[in-house]
Structure 1
Amino acid sequence: MPPPSFRIDLSPCIPVRCGKHIEYVGLRELLTDAHRIDDLALPLPPARSGLYRVLAAICAAVTELDDPDQPIKEWLDHRAELLRREDGFDTDAVHAYFDADPGAFDLFHPTRPWWQDAALAVQCPKRSGINSLIYGRAAGRNLVWFNPRHTDTDPQPVPTREALWSLLAYHYYGPSGRATTRTVDGVTSGQLKAGPLRSTVSFHPRGRTLYETLLLHQTPYRGDDQAPGSDACPWQEPPAHPLRTPHAATWPKRLLTGRSVHAALLVPDASGEHVTDAYLTWATQHPLLEATDPYLVYDIDPKAPAERRRSPRRANADHALFRALPALALAGDEHRPGCRPEAFTTINSLPKDTRARLRVWVCGFDQEGQVNNRIWYTSLTPPIWPLAQENDPVKASRIVECCAAAETLGAALRRQADQAWKDTGLTPPPAKGGGKRDTSPWAGQALAGYWPRAEQAFWELLDDTRSAYGVFAATAITALSETTRDALNRLPKAGPALARAVQSLRRAGTPPDDTLRPTKGPHAQP
């Protein structure tokens, strides 16, 4: 039998949505028909977020938007011209990209499998197990009762296209800590560093078609001089030596696809239609490359040490998604360096019809630093341009004011619920590491009821003149009252304790003197 092969440029492995239908296509068809495809339809959101970055890197090469020497005005004009096209990407350019090195897109190529390292079969003394790759399966000492069909004693093969999705998620969101041991030039280690997107939330611009979406994912080059030909994706060159200093995160290919610190090798069955096992280990022992991912929000903490002052915003499944809107509505400046992701900083240069329909797909993956994955969450915003500071500074300031009020009352609700629990004489919550105590049951339940109500109130307040602080204070009081209704009849001390909590929440509902005022004019952008 011939050796197994699975060409991701030809095999139907990527689900896409066309109207009401879901189809599977290879990368070639995906790009040549991008103007007829609505969007990606991967059921694994972290893989979809990673694939957007892969496709953005390929799109930059196909459209010649990857020229670092092109003046920014010419670059913006070129992208705007492409966005006005109705026939999508140049078909010849797409085929030329894949035909330049067709073997590079074979998942099971004997020496250069796509985004894998064939040397792991020799450098690793044992395999990692297919369950360690596939999200949702238990592996090692993890609990199995959530999915009892998949255990390490009886690992089931996975269709190759699904293994591809998990491979994408592994490179971007992979864990830190212990992994399969690898020996390179006498150096043996089984320690992993966290993937570049682990525990983060991504903001992806979305257009009317996948073609438009991929062009909206492009960002102009703003760095120093970059040597011609120095930029490449991992599948366009041999795997980097694990012990050498990695290449710099050049724009746009290495920035989007070249920062993985994980190495993998899939083990197929004889047909290549299923993956039966995998090697999963470290790709480098060097620190993660410093770079600004264009789809992340970076928060600035001026009080933190210099090396930790700037950090990507962490995903938090407990947060209502409307709390991310200020990062999109406000244009960044020297006073707000942690606002809009870089992919949205050239929003003014887009054609008017594209700009008016621009939406944002939000993908957060709430994870612990090492192995545990808590939950992923997604959301699709309404068109954001009418809410942006450049278009409606009053509405943008109102968004910021409402979000600040919601955050302030959410924090107050947590404090007052904890204090009421303590004053009622109930058992203190267990202590966390460092001596800090967890939130009380009342605080956890009240916040779970507060944030869905706060989201509804937020959208009502955008076109309302009521005090946002007063509305969210009433929302917090309602959430606390519903949480503690039964306790009032059972616990003698609950009434006075909760009355004090309600009074404190009402005081917190008084807006501060420095509440943001509407911005008087649009913020200049390129």
Structure 2
Amino acid sequence: MNSPPTFNLLHEPWIPVRPLNGDPVREVGLRDLILDARTYSRIDDPSPLVTVALLRLTLALLHRALRGPKNTEQAAEWFRNGFPTDTLVAYFQTWEDHFDLFHPEKPFWQVRDLTLDLEGGKYRSHWTRLGTEVGSANTLPLFNVAGRPGGDRSDALTPAQAARRLAEGQTFLLGGLIKRFTTAAKAAPVATFALTAAQGNDLHETLCLNLTVYGGQDSDRAVWEREPLTVQSVREFYEDELSEVPTGRADRYTWPSRSVLLIPEINKDGTVQVTSIGFAAGIPLEGAAEGSGSNIDPMVTLRPPADPKKPERFPLKLKREQLLWRDLSALLTGPEGEQQGSYPPSTLTHARELLAAVSASQGTSVTVTGLLSDQGKAFAYRQESYAFPHAFISDPEEFTNDVNRALEAARTVGQGLSSATLRLAVEVVSRGGEREPHKDDVRQLAQTLPGVGAYWAALEAPFRVFLAALDRQGEAAAAWRESVAREARAAWALNLQGVGGDGQVLGFAFRPRSVDNKKPISPQGILDRALTTLNAAQRPDVTAPEVPS
């Protein structure tokens, strides 16, 4: 008779890491991950969602085991000399049983009695409910290529794969209909937010850079330190219409956003697999998911509302239509521009202060990861990386000002290009003023012209070069201005080709014409005026022309 399966996450290999020596990616347990972190370059799962979820879990474990760092000085000590091994080992021994994925009384991050025969088996689901991008109920058909959850799928997970999907699901599952304990379950605390993490030269440095100063450690608790959840304890939240506030950082990082029970199956050869799971709503989170005060999620950026009368900040999310570099100011602190009223991610602020404390001679790189959704459906995930120079550490305010000025220059020229494109569409549709154009025809033509989209797409690579070169501020700024001007002119040439590019069209583009007794200016003239901002202190008027009604 087979004994009940066990899979202890402290010791069993399940977290994929890339060794520094160039060896292939391999899997390690949480204990080895932390104690040998200097031998690995990073956690490296094919899914960036899994990678970030595993990083957050590891940070929660370090916070609880070390009850710190209490300040930047202690963080710097750990950065230089390593974590206190004796303290970590003692903590691992104390909580070892709570990290067993299949423990009969306290299965890790699960609800122990959510069995498949409970209430006629209505809690049964396929493991894909845990994988946001591999077939959950909130996944669009593009990702869900192998069938709907609960269908005829028979593929199974190894315990290591199941543990990774469990961490991903608890971190990123979207809200929606569930009909298990409640009609609609809330999303995981950071399901769709842009999560920022600093990257070190090895995994140990990465952990230290993101292990922000830890307060309130006496009241905080991670999921393995909670009383084991039961069906009754979770159900009471919904019956009594209750919710919980995270007790601290580790509680937020390991929030049980879903009630899950992995059902192990023992094969004939003795190996264990997971096909079916128990699945239901988790503990409802009170208030805004990103938190407030000292309970703000360290990886989340909070932005000021568009309406100044509304005091609530909102979390930064990755956008479907543009990459984050165009909004990079949101991650930075400083006196100018986008920083007014923003709350940057404390992971990045802490990383900068820590690198300054250890007198780092180089900059750092930053990753921003997020799940993109529309009306409760996941359609993409994205991870973007940016290299910050040493100026980010040595002179953060000037670094922020340089980034703000560069982005403002690109936006101003981009607005000029958009206005010129719209004026060109007016001229083409009206045939130089011979007839009254319909506004829908003008907008449709302007939207089909490729210039504006090509302009922003072409500037991504030059911006990365500019960012990495800001230790030589003058050279970087001059090169950036050249790139903006070059790509704007190239984009304008694409627009001219898009409307025909013949002599008549060129006449429409270059011939000034007054409209409604306004100062005459040609489409080309609008762009030229915007380009003058690259070397001028004053920003000229590059507002778009009115579209005929």
Q: Which of residues 110, 115, 120 in structure 1 aligns to 2:109?
A: 115
Task: Indicate the larger mover: 407-416 or 445-454.
Answer: 407-416
Match of 2:180 in 1: 182
Distance verdict in 2 for CA 1:26–1:467, change over 3 Å: closer
Q: Structure 1 residues 415, 249: CA separation in 2 closer, same or farther (over 3 Å shift)?
A: farther
Asked whether 1:132 is paired with 2:129, we answer yes
Structure 1 residues 335 and 386: alpha-carbon distance in aligned structure 2, compared to 1, 3 A threshold: closer
Greater shift in the superposed pair: 106-115 or 478-487 = 478-487
Supply the distance in 1 between the matched residues of 2:274 and 2:153 (Cα, whole angstroms).
14
Return the structure number with greater helix share. 2
SS class of match (2:55): helix
Instruction: Go from structure 1 to structure 2 and tell me whether the alpha carbon gap of 1:49 and 1:357 turns closer, same or farther (over 3 Å shift).
Output: farther
The RMSD of aligned alpha carbons is 3.7
Q: Quick one: distance in 1 between partners of 2:375 and 2:113?
A: 25
- Three-state SS of the structure 2 residue aligned to 1:409 is helix
Moved more, 363-372 or 166-175: 363-372
Residue from 89, 99, 106 that aligns with 2:93: 99
CA shift in 2, pair 1:467/1:154, >3 Å: closer
Note the C-alpha offset of 1:306.
Answer: 3.2
Aligned length: 486
Q: Does the CA-based 8 Å contact 2:17-2:41 persist in structure 1?
A: yes
CA–CA distance in structure 1, aligned partners of residues 167 and 424 of structure 2:
46
> Any stretches of 5+ residues in structure 1 without a counterpart?
184-188, 431-436, 516-526
Q: Distance in 2 between matches of 1:141 and 1:53?
A: 23
Q: Is the 8 A contact 1:173 1:199 kept in 2?
A: yes
Alpha-carbon shift at residue 48 of structure 1 (Å):
1.5
Matches within 5 A, 1:102-501: 102-121=96-115, 122=118, 125-138=122-135, 144=141, 148-150=145-147, 152-179=151-178, 181-183=179-181, 189-221=182-214, 226=216, 229-237=218-226, 238-239=228-229, 241=234, 242-243=237-238, 245-258=242-255, 260-270=256-266, 273-285=272-284, 286-289=286-289, 290-291=291-292, 292-301=296-305, 303=307, 306=310, 309-331=312-334, 336-338=340-342, 340-346=344-350, 347-350=352-355, 355-388=360-393, 390-391=394-395, 393-414=397-418, 416-417=420-421, 420=424, 424-425=428-429, 441-442=447-448, 445-458=450-463, 459-460=465-466, 463-464=475-476, 466=478, 472-482=484-494, 485-488=497-500, 496=508, 500-501=522-523
Q: Secondary structure at the match of 1:24?
A: strand
Cα 1:251/1:176, change in 2 over 3 Å: closer
Amino acid at match of 1:450: Y
Deviates more, 1:237-246 or 1:371-380: 237-246
Distance 1:206 1:489, change over 3 A: closer
CA distance in structure 2 between the aligned counterparts of 1:43 and 1:6, rounded to whole angstroms? 22
Q: For residue 378 of structure 2, what is the amino acid of its counterpart?
A: N
**Residue 266 of structure 2 aligns to a residue in which SS?**
coil
The aligned residue for residue 186 of structure 1 is: none
Q: Does the CA contact (< 8 Å) of 1:208 and 1:357 recur in 2?
A: no
The structure-2 alpha-carbon separation of the partners of 1:149 and 1:383, relative to structure 1 and needing over 3 Å to count, comes to same
Aligned residue identity for 2:17: V
**Distance in 2 between residues matched to 1:8 and 1:416, nearest whole Å:** 59
1:138 to 1:229, Cα distance in 2 relative to 1, 3 A: closer
- Counterpart amino acid of 2:76? A
**More displaced stretch, 138-147 vs 268-277:** 138-147
**1:260-305 deviations in Å (ceiling 9; x for gaps):** 5333222332256332023343214454452411122211126255
Q: Match for 2:297: what amino acid?
A: D
**Letter in structure 2 aligned against 1:442:** T
Partner-residue secondary structure (3-state), 1:481: helix
Q: Distance in 2 between matches of 1:335 and 1:63?
A: 33
Percent identity (aligned): 22
Which region of structure 1 is more displaced relative to structure 2, 331-340 or 367-376? 331-340
In the alignment, is the contact (CA less than 8 A) between 1:424 and 1:494 conserved in 2? Answer: no
Q: CA deviation at 1:138?
A: 3.9
CA offsets per residue over residues 125-170 of structure 1, 9 Å max, x none? 2423223323443456966576644553334213332332222222
So what's the TM-score if we normalise by structure 2? 0.76
Q: Please say if residues 68 and 214 of structure 2, whose CA atoms lie closer than 8 Å, have aligned partners that are also in contact.
A: no
> Once the 2 structures are TM-superposed, how far is the Cα of residue 65 of structure 1 from its aligned partner?
0.8
Structure 1 residue 101, shift from structure 2 partner: 2.5
How many angstroms apart in 2 are the aligned matches of 1:374 and 1:78? 41
Cα distance between partner residues in 1 of 2:400 and 2:65: 36
Bigger Cα Rg: 2
Rate the CA distance shift 1:23–1:146 in 2: closer, same or farther, 3 A. closer
Match of 2:5 in 1: 4
Which residue of structure 1 aligns with residue 515 of structure 2? none
Q: Which amino acid in the other structure matches residue 250 of structure 1?
A: T
**2:140 & 2:347 partners in 1: Cα distance?**
39
1:28 alignment partner in structure 2: 31
Give the TM-score taking structure 1 as reference length: 0.79
